[in-house]
């Protein structure tokens, strides 16, 4: 069973007929959201699903931003922590995947890659935190990682799902500029920090992914070719 209809839900569409697993992919789509009503909507739906399917294994998507000191006090991140705790206390069989910045077909306008690409295309000024890093990962690779972890019979755990390399936002923008053949309009702010995400648990799957799609800036370029033709 898949709950949701966005980018992540579509990536896991072939789980729709499963009765033993619930892929909960219906959450707040904007990480800068501040309305409590949006957070409560997701929380209420989650509680309803858990109550209705108590014997199913729950796969829930949280965020790697929990590990980013620059943003982890935002309401969105605190909301994700609240739901993680609720799941741990009320679900007997679960996997929580803390996911980095997902890239894919028809992602919402708030995803960082969509925002940056559209801003460069439209010559909109981008406010860039000079020292900020972001970690981009293909939605298809998220699915591959989740499937591998699920097959490993891991239960009641939190797993980071991210690329091995977090990259400076300014370097991601340079890659977009080269790909589009167009200069970005930038305004720099002296903020941001490095982003360290432990990917030890998924290293075997990352080896397979990197063998095909590369890593670092090569991986970013391949994402641009795949989704922004």
pLDDT attached to residue 28: 84
In angstroms, what is the C-alpha Rg of the chain? 18
The structure's pTM equals: 0.94
Q: Tens digits of per-residue pLDDT, 152-188?
A: 989 999 999 999 999 999 999 999 999 999 999 999 9
Q: In terms of Cα–Cα distance, which of 100, 131, 77 is closest to 202? A: 100
Backbone angles phi, psi at 114, to 5 degrees: -60, -45
Cα gap 62→48, rounded to integer Å: 18
Q: Tens digits of per-residue pLDDT, 54-105?
A: 999 999 999 999 988 888 899 999 999 999 999 999 999 999 999 999 999 8
Average pLDDT, the chain: 94
Can you spell out the DSSP letters for 36-97? HHHHHHHHHHHHHHHHH-TTSEEEEEEEGGGG-TTTTTSHHHHHHHHHHHHHHHH-SSEEEE
Average pLDDT over every residue of 13-35: 89
Can you spell out the DSSP letters for the chain? -EE--SHHHHHTGGGTT-SSEEEE------TT---HHHHHHHHHHHHHHHHH-TTSEEEEEEEGGGG-TTTTTSHHHHHHHHHHHHHHHH-SSEEEEEE-EEE-TT--TTSHHHHHHHHHHTT-EEEEETT-EE-EEEHHHHHHHHHHHHHTT--SEEEEE--S--EEHHHHHHHHHHHHT---EEEEES---------GGGHHHHHHHHHHH-SHHHHHHHHHHHH--
The CA–CA distances, whole Å, from 197 to 45, 130, 136, 157 equal 29, 19, 12, 16
Query: Is 2-227 assigned to CATH 1.10.760.10?
Result: no
Cα gap 4→200, rounded to integer Å: 29
CA triple 67-1-33, angle to 5 deg: 40
Q: Tens digits of per-residue pLDDT, 137-154?
A: 999 999 999 999 999 989
């Amino acid at each position: 069973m898949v709950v949701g209809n966005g980018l992540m839900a579509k990536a896991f569409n072939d789980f729709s007929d499963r009765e033993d697993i619930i892929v909960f992919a219906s959450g707040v789509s904007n990480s800068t959201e501040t309305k409590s009503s949006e957070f409560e909507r997701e929380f209420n739906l989650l509680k309803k699903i858990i109550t209705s399917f108590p014997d199913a294994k729950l796969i829930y998507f949280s965020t790697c931003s929990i590990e980013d000191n620059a943003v982890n006090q935002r309401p969105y991140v605190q909301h994700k922590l609240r739901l993680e705790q609720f799941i741990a206390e009320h679900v007997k069989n679960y996997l929580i995947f803390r996911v980095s910045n997902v890239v894919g077909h028809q992602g919402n306008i708030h995803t960082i890659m969509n925002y940056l690409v559209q801003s460069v295309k439209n010559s909109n000024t981008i406010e860039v935190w000079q020292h900020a890093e972001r970690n981009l990962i293909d939605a298809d690779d998220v699915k591959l990682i989740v499937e591998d972890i699920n097959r490993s019979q891991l239960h009641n755990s939190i797993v980071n799902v991210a690329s091995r390399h977090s990259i400076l936002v300014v370097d991601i923008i340079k890659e977009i500029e080269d790909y589009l053949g167009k200069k970005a309009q930038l305004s720099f702010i002296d903020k941001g920090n490095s982003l360290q995400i432990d990917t030890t648990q998924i290293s075997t799957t990352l080896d397979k992914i990197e063998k095909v799609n590369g890593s670092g800036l090569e991986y970013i370029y391949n994402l641009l070719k795949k989704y922004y033709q």
